[in-house]
Chain A
Amino acid sequence: MASNGTYLTQSADIASRTIGDDTIIMSTLDSTVFMLNSVGTAIWNAADGATPLSRIVQDHVCPEFDVSDEQALADAMEFVDELVKHGILLVSDVPVPPREAL
């Protein structure tokens, strides 16, 4: 389960594209499709393996959306768990080195 100290990484087994405030994600493993709203997109795009979830929520969710810190973190953890379940996001208790850039 995700916690406030969880580090997030986008799986390599996905296709994704952010269009405006929304993000389309498709698993290349089982072709499951997800559409993330603006909150989900904010978390997704900040999932760099180096920033803990609590910081992502603090920096990218709370300033943009009218929600308390506690509620935002609880909602974010639930969201992360859902994506982890489908192999879309990977979680780690320690920072993850970035993948090689193009």
Chain B
Amino acid sequence: MSLLGEINDLATARGIALAAHMDITWRCNEKCVHCYLDHDDKGEMTTDEVKDILRQLADAGTFFLSISGGEPLMRRDCFAILEYARALRFNVKLKTNAVMIGPQQAARIKKLGIEQVQISLYSHRPEVHDAITKVPGSLRRTIDGIRRLKANGVKVSVTDVLMRYNHGDVRAVKKLAKELDVNFVVDPTITPMLSGDRSILSLGITHAELEELMHTEEFVGDVAEYCSPLSTHGDDVLDGYSCSAGHSLAYISPYAEVYPCVQFPMPCGSLRKQSFREIWYESPAFTELRAVHVRDLHTCSHCTHTAYCSRCPGLAYMEGDFRGPSSADCQKSYARTGIPSPAMSRAGNRIPQAAAGLVQISGLQ
């Protein structure tokens, strides 16, 4: 196990929120078609509130801090917040679309010792990227921002969220990332809106496209190994948790509300009413979440895919039951192995038409 893995296990065992994701605003200068946020400002945290919460997080043992949004640079105090976070010795990652990163901002990010800047990049073609962000010229400005960050020696990672509009460009985006000398991540998951509206899920790629992605060496590595189903899982898996949300990870909204993760909108408390420690250690929601091990999952504990499934309890929560399966992850495991999960078999209609031919995939022969 890596040292970071050991540290995360140590934090989980000690009940410490080792990582926190803080959206300092949900306002944004782009209007991405797949965005799950409500961009209206409903009373964002003040600068002092943010600083107070950062102090509380540091006191509670939080080490990894993601500052995100919306577009965090929409706040005039974004750099004051970043500077304060670094003075508190957080390991800080900044999630931005880089549109507002000029030469001065790039130099300042470097000087502050931001660990990494994470940027979404949807296509190498302006007509596609800009159509997704709904902002003409956004691809050029994002790439300009990336180049400025790189020129200053800042580590950059780009994420390509795959949708029906842009999935055909994924290889070209990866090539562009290589040219820009930045890390590349591909993400095939569209998240429902936090309001519960699931209509944007229709933007996602098809099962056949997901299956192709998961059987492509340049994205998954050794296809045969990646796509081979494991038939058994032991107590180490059953005694574990689906992910770190609520165990060593906390999410804080622009309105000072605490959740297990940005993708897990189960309310745990408000930092305008309680301290972080009170919420983290005493919230009934966190207590309930932490009591659930993999063996307690009514469907997933018996599933063939349990050992390697990326089951997201937040997506399951948004489907109505955080102890239940997340259909997006069932689809991923299915696309990966060709074996439907028990949840999919039960649902029946969720198995796509292409299912009949999946076991013939050459990588599995």
Contacts and interface: CB of A to CB of B under 8 A. Distances in A.
A58 interface: no
A102 B63 contact: no
Interface residues of A, number: 17
B183 to A, nearest CB: 12
Contacts of A14: 89, 113
Given A16-B89, A17-B63, A19-B16, A28 B7 contact: no
A76 to B, nearest CB: 22
A13 B3 contact: no
B165 interface: no
Contacts of A13: 113
B10 interface: yes
Nearest to A11: B113
Given A24-B7, A33-B3, A15 B14 contact: no
B167 to A, nearest CB: 31
A35 B113 contact: no
Contacts of A15: 63, 86, 89-92, 113, 115
A12 to B, nearest CB: 7
A15 B155 CA distance: 15
Contacts of B291: none
Nearest to A27: B113
A71 interface: no
A97 interface: no
A89 B83 CA distance: 21
B322 interface: no
Most buried by A among B16, B63, B92: B63
A26 interface: yes
A35 B5 CA distance: 12
B347 interface: no
Contact of A33 (B4, B62, B87): B4
B91 A102 contact: no
Interface in B57-90: 58, 61-63, 84, 86-90
A24 B113 contact: no
Interface in A18-36: 19-20, 22, 24, 26, 28-29, 31, 33, 35
A97 B182 CA distance: 38
Contact of A17 (B3, B86, B89): B89
Nearest to A34: B3
Contact of B6 (A12, A19, A26, A35): A35
Contact of B14 (A20, A26, A29, A33): A20
B58 A31 contact: no
Most buried by B among A12, A15, A16: A15
Interface string B75-115: 00000000010111111100000000000000000000111
A102 B91 CA distance: 17
A102 B81 CA distance: 12
Nearest to A19: B61
Contacts of B84: 102
Nearest to A14: B89
Given A17-B61, A17-B63, A35-B3, A102 B10 contact: no
B193 interface: no
Nearest to B4: A33
26 contacts: A13-B113, A14-B89, A15-B63, A15-B86, A15-B89, A15-B90, A15-B91, A15-B92, A15-B113, A15-B115, A16-B63, A16-B89, A17-B58, A17-B61, A17-B62, A19-B10, A19-B11, A19-B16, A19-B61, A19-B63, A26-B115, A28-B113, A33-B7, A35-B3, A35-B6, A102-B87
Q: Which 9 A-B pairs have the closest CB atoms?
A: A28-B113, A15-B91, A17-B63, A19-B61, A16-B89, A33-B3, A26-B91, A24-B63, A102-B87
Given A15-B86, A28-B113, A35-B3, 10 more contacts: A15-B89, A15-B115, A17-B89, A19-B10, A19-B61, A19-B63, A26-B63, A29-B113, A102-B87, A102-B88
Interface of B: 3-4, 6-7, 10-11, 14, 16, 58, 61-63, 84, 86-92, 113-115, 155
